[in-house]
Amino acid sequence: MNTKEVTAKQILSRSKVFAYALNPYIGCSYGCTYCYARFMRRFTGHGDKWGEFVDVKVNASELLEKEIRLKKVARVWVSGVCDPYQPVEGRCRLTRRCLEILTENGWPVTVQTKSPLVLRDLDLLKRSESAEVGLTVTTADDAVRSMFEPRAPSVGDRINALATLHSEGVKTFAMIAPILPGADGLAEMLTGKVDHVLIDRMNYHHADRIYRKYGVEWARSEGFFIRQGRDLRRAFEGEGIPCEILF
Chain residues in the site for ligand SF4 (CB under 6 A): 28, 30-32, 35, 37, 82-83, 114, 152
Least Å from the CB of residue 180 to ligand SF4: 12
Q: How far is the CB of 190 from ligand SF4 (least distance, A)?
A: 19
- What is the closest distance, in whole angstroms, from the C-beta atom of residue 126 to ligand SF4 in the complex? 24
Query: Is 110 or 235 the residue whose CB approaches ligand SF4 more closely?
Result: 110
Provide the minimum distance between the beta carbon of 32 and ligand SF4 in the complex, in angstroms, as a whole number: 3
Q: Which is nearer to ligand SF4, 28 or 109 (CB)?
A: 28
Cβ count near 103 (within 10 Å): 20
Rounded Cα distance between 193 and 203, Å, is 27
152 vs 197, beta carbon nearer ligand SF4: 152
Among residues 46 and 126, whose Cβ is nearest to ligand SF4?
46
Q: Is the peptide bond before 178 cis (omega within 30 degrees of 0)?
A: yes
Establish how many alpha carbons lie within 13 A of residue 189's alpha carbon, considering only the half-sphere containing its beta carbon: 21
Return the closest-CA partner of residue 97 out of 134, 57, 136.
57
Query: Which spans in 46-181 are helix H?
Result: 60-70, 88-92, 94-104, 122-127, 142-148, 155-167
